[in-house]
Amino acid sequence: GEAQSHTMVDQLVLQRARHGDETALRSLWVQHGPHIDAVIRRLCGDSDLAADIAQEVWMQIFRALPGYRGDAQFSTWAHRIAVNRTLNALRKIRHVHRGEVDMPQDIAAPEEDVDRTFVAESIEAAVSRLSPGARAVFVLHDVEGYTHEEIAKELGITSGGSKSQLFKARAKLRRLLAHLVDGPKPATGHAHVAPRS
């Protein structure tokens, strides 16, 4: 059926790509690029850095293609390379200055109509403000669905360490994203807003 023929096409493209066919390589990049780039951007929390690393990741994926045996789906295989390369690159520049992203304060949209892209951007911005370690654990676990054991292996930490990083990451995100959940705070002296029923 539909899925079957799609897999066949993929296999043909992959075969040609493995032999260095430009058109095939390009079509892999077009098909899988957006997902891979999003993963890299989330791990980096910085779009300029992510763009640099993405170039390196794709070079690595294309270089590794001849060794790709098809035992995992291409997207899974490419995703693993992307995560590994990105984490390695981030380790090298561990002390890179993280630009603090300012949360947009002046959102005048009515609450029911909070623009989806604003929500998505707020989340991306908040994730980018986590420390690199906490961000990597959060993205791998909550976004990419890795287990703590897998994360521990990838990051060279214990699974307990992974769990505590995740806990810290979620707590900080909850603080940073409170404005999305609670809505704008009235500008009064009261710290607490009565819950809306």
Q: Could you report the per-residue pLDDT of 13-24, keeping only the tens digit for each?
A: 888 998 889 999
pLDDT score of 161? 92
pLDDT at 179 over 50: yes
Using alpha carbons only, what angle is made at residue 88 by residues 41 and 153, rounded to the nearest 5 degrees?
100
pLDDT score of 113? 47
Q: How confident is the model at residue 55 (pLDDT cuts 50, 70, 90)?
A: very high
Q: How confident is the model at residue 60 (pLDDT cuts 50, 70, 90)?
A: very high
pLDDT at 160 over 90: yes
